[in-house]
């Protein structure tokens, strides 16, 4: 799944939603891209996405991969950030029976998983409806 080194490479992505911004046309992309999907330019730089957005739709996942079993069931949402970019993220601080699509949500950092008691703790983005 993930290892400490691939996690280390990704920390700006996971902690601050750093994606890509096209230097030529200004389009923003998350997840990051190698070639701008709007204008085709290869001149892209790192750029932090807005930390707020809204919940487009969601699912309650009951059968996750092994690493996430201890947290099941949990909510996975399709979140649309304020700049229109969308991503998949867990939704927290809300009960599985009362989560509403359309709710405004914001970034919060939580534990995603860890390599057992001895290993690395992996933190990453989740979204919450709480202020």
Describe the strand order of the beta sheet including 18-22 as a list of residue ranges. Answer: 28-29, 18-22, 44-48
| CB of 61 or CB of 103, closer to other proteins | 61
Core vs surface per residue 90-116: b (16+ CB within 10 A) or e: bbbebeeeebeeeeebebeeeebbeee
DSSP assignment, residue 118?
T
Note the residues at the interface with other proteins (CB under 8 A).
Answer: 1-2, 6, 10-13, 15-16, 31, 37, 56-71, 74, 76, 78, 86-90, 92-93, 95, 101, 108-113, 117, 121-126, 130-131
| β-pair partners for 107 | 127
Residue ranges of E strands in the chain = 18-22, 28-29, 44-48, 52-61, 74-81, 86-91, 104-114, 121-128
């Amino acid at each position: 799944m993930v290892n400490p080194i691939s996690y280390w490479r990704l920390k700006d992505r996971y902690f601050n939603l750093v994606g890509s911004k096209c230097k030529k046309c200004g389009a923003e992309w998350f997840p990051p891209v190698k070639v701008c999907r709007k204008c085709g330019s290869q001149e892209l730089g790192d750029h932090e996405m807005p930390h707020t957005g809204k919940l487009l739709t969601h699912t309650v996942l009951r059968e996750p991969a092994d690493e996430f079993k201890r947290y099941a069931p949990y909510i996975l949402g399709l979140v649309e950030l304020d700049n229109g970019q969308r991503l998949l993220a867990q939704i927290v601080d809300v009960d599985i029976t009362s989560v509403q699509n359309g709710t405004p949500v914001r970034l919060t950092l939580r534990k995603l998983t860890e390599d057992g008691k001895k290993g690395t703790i992996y933190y990453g983005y989740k979204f919450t409806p709480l202020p």
